[in-house]
Amino acid sequence: MKKNFEHARRLLCALQVDLRGALIAARARQAHTFARVAAVTAADTIYQVDKVSEAVILAWFERHWPRAWPVELVMEGVDEAEPLTFPRGTPVAKTAFKCLLDPIDGTRNLMYDKRAAWALAALAPQRGPRTHLGDIVVAAMTELPTSKQAASDQLSAVRGRGVVAQRHDLRTGRRRRLAVRPSPARHFEHGFASIARFFPEGKALLATLEEDLWRQLGLLGRRGGQLVFDDQYLSTGGQLYELAVGHDRMLGDLRPLAYVKLGLGSASLCCHPYDICTELILREAGGLVETPDGRPLRAPFNTTTPVAWMGYANPALARVVRPILKRLIRKHL
């Protein structure tokens, strides 16, 4: 079975390479239309650039996914009331796997050519509606570059077998091994760490909580201040990457909790399971991804459930933050 999982990893990586190529080609033809709103769903706003990726993915699964591994596809734009399976028409009960996809995580970055986005995919044994993030056995993520980038990184993993990481030269097609190692630092001084506050909703509340966190950790104003750096990467996949390669020491997304506090309910502008379906990769690299109170993520395989999470480069940092964060969530959220 592990041999099959390795083949599945390679398949998901190949899918994302095809998707990356299609998006680069589409940008050359129609970049001016990428930012047009195509639809608004319960999961997110769908932009024209998202529509390009959907067509590529469906065609790829038709051509390349092994018929011996019937799979249910879960992604933005697919109506949960009408499950999409490959081979087409396979009853969900007859599928062996469930594949959770975010074709473009960081759409807003990519459509304005501002910062790279990420293609995300994860595979789990089919358990129907009981399938959750903890069931994932294979995950892959591929950088979707801006127009000025000459390289694109790809990280993937099979559970229990570590991370496979490559840097792809987009001009020559050559690939080389990429070192993936989360930061071993046991403190936050002179490092990047932050809580997500990408949009106006909840920004002040989340900033207040984060400032209180640094105060409780004794870093606010210490030695003149500015000891912890903030980077608001508008892509959950991008955040996981920054932790995995050692750029950031802690990142978290508490927006679902803030939205409830503010009476916004299940607002769409937050992380959903498909946005964080590649968290296995960070854990295989040695980092941690968990709920804000320190439990494993167990969100269902869908595109709508709000997910609050915290990511740490190593267990030592998690142990320092967890008890303080729990108190601050009770205080602020």
CATH of the domain at 17: 3.30.540.10
Q: Among the three residues 127, 154, 177, which one is the final residue of a domain in this structure?
A: 177
pLDDT of residue 35: 53
Whether the model pTM is above 0.85:
yes
CA distance 156 to 5: 11
The per-residue pLDDT for 222 is: 80
Q: For the chain, give the mean pLDDT.
A: 92
- Full 3-state SS string of the chain: CHHHHHHHHHHHHHHHHHHHHHHHHHHHHHHHHCCCEEEECCCCEEEHHHHHHHHHHHHHHHHHCCCCCCEEEEECCCCCCCCEEECCCCCHHHCCEEEEEEEEECHHHHHCCCCCEEEEEEEEECCHHHCEHHHCCEEEEEEECCCCCCEEEEEEEECCCCEEEEEEECCCCCEEECCCCCCCCCCCCCEEEEECCCCCCCHHHHHHHHHHHHHHCCCCCHHHCCCEECCCCCCHHHHHHHHHCCCEEEEEECHHHHHHHCCCCCCCCCCCHHHHCCHHHHHHHCCEEECCCCCCCCCECCCCCCCCEEEECCHHHHHHHHHHHHHHHHHHC
Q: Are residues 31 and 166 in the same domain?
A: yes
Phi, psi of 65 (to 5 degrees): -75, 130
Task: Write down the pLDDT at residue 269.
Answer: 82
Whether residue 50 has pLDDT greater than 70? no
Q: Which two tokens stand for residue 122?
A: 């994860």
Residue 21 lies in a domain: yes
* Helices 48-64 & 2-30 angle (0-180, nearest 10): 140
Q: Domain check: are 113 and 198 in the same one?
A: no
pLDDT at 223: 77
pLDDT tens digits, residue range 198-230?
Answer: 999 999 999 999 999 999 999 998 876 789 999
Which of 131, 154, 177 terminates a domain? The answer is 177
- 287 and 214 in a single domain? The answer is yes
More confident residue, 99 or 36: 99
The CA distance from 123 to 145, in Å, is: 24
What are the φ and ψ backbone dihedral angles of 186, each rounded to 5 degrees?
Answer: -105, 10
Considering the domain architecture, whether residues 65 and 144 belong to the same structural domain is answered as yes
Candidates 44, 108, 106, 49; CA nearest to 76 is 44
- Supply the range of the domain harboring residue 309: 191-332
Express each pLDDT in 17-28 by its tens digit.
Answer: 999 999 998 888
Are residues 318 and 288 both part of a single domain?
yes
Q: Are residues 167 and 226 in the same domain?
A: no
pLDDT band, very low/low/confident/very high, at 37 (cuts 50, 70, 90): low
- Number of domains observed in the structure of the chain: 2
Q: In this prediction, what percent of the chain has a pLDDT beyond 90? A: 82
Percent of the chain with pLDDT over 70: 91
Q: How far is CA 213 from CA 170, 178, 204, 318, in A?
A: 41, 33, 14, 13
150 and 9 together in one domain: yes
Max mean pLDDT among 36-40, 69-73, 260-264 falls in: 69-73
Please report the pLDDT score of residue 164 as a whole number.
98
Polymer length of the chain: 333
Query: Is the residue at 286 inside a domain?
Result: yes
- Residue-wise pLDDT for 154-201, tens only, equals 999 999 999 999 999 999 999 999 999 999 999 999 999 999 999 999
Residue 98, pLDDT > 90, answer yes
Residue 221: per-residue pLDDT = 85
Q: Assess whether 155 and 17 both reside in one domain.
A: yes
The pLDDT of residue 276 is above 90: yes
66: amino acid identity, one letter: P
Among the listed residues 287, 209, 275, the one whose alpha carbon sits nearest the alpha carbon of residue 247: 287
Q: Are residues 173 and 240 in the same domain?
A: no
Q: At which of 177, 200, 216 does a domain end?
A: 177
Half-sphere exposure of 28 toward its Cβ, with a 13 Å CA cutoff? 6
120 and 268 share a domain? no
61 within a domain of the structure (yes/no): yes
Query: For residue 56, is it within any domain?
Result: yes
Q: Are residues 170 and 249 in the same domain?
A: no
The confidence band for 145, taking pLDDT boundaries of 50, 70 and 90, is very high
Is residue 35 a part of any domain in this protein? yes
Name the residue with higher pLDDT: 294 or 44. 294
pLDDT above 80 (res 266)? no
Residues 161 and 199 in one domain: no
Question: What is the pLDDT confidence band of residue 53, given thresholds at 50, 70 and 90?
Answer: confident
Q: What is the CATH number of the domain that holds 283?
A: 3.40.190.80
Confidence at residue 254, expressed as pLDDT on a 0 to 100 scale: 97
Q: Is residue 186 part of a domain?
A: no
Q: What is the pLDDT of residue 55?
A: 86
For residue 30, being part of any structural domain is answered with yes
Residue 107 has pLDDT above 80, yes or no: yes
What is the predicted pLDDT for the residue at 328? 98
**184: in domain:** no
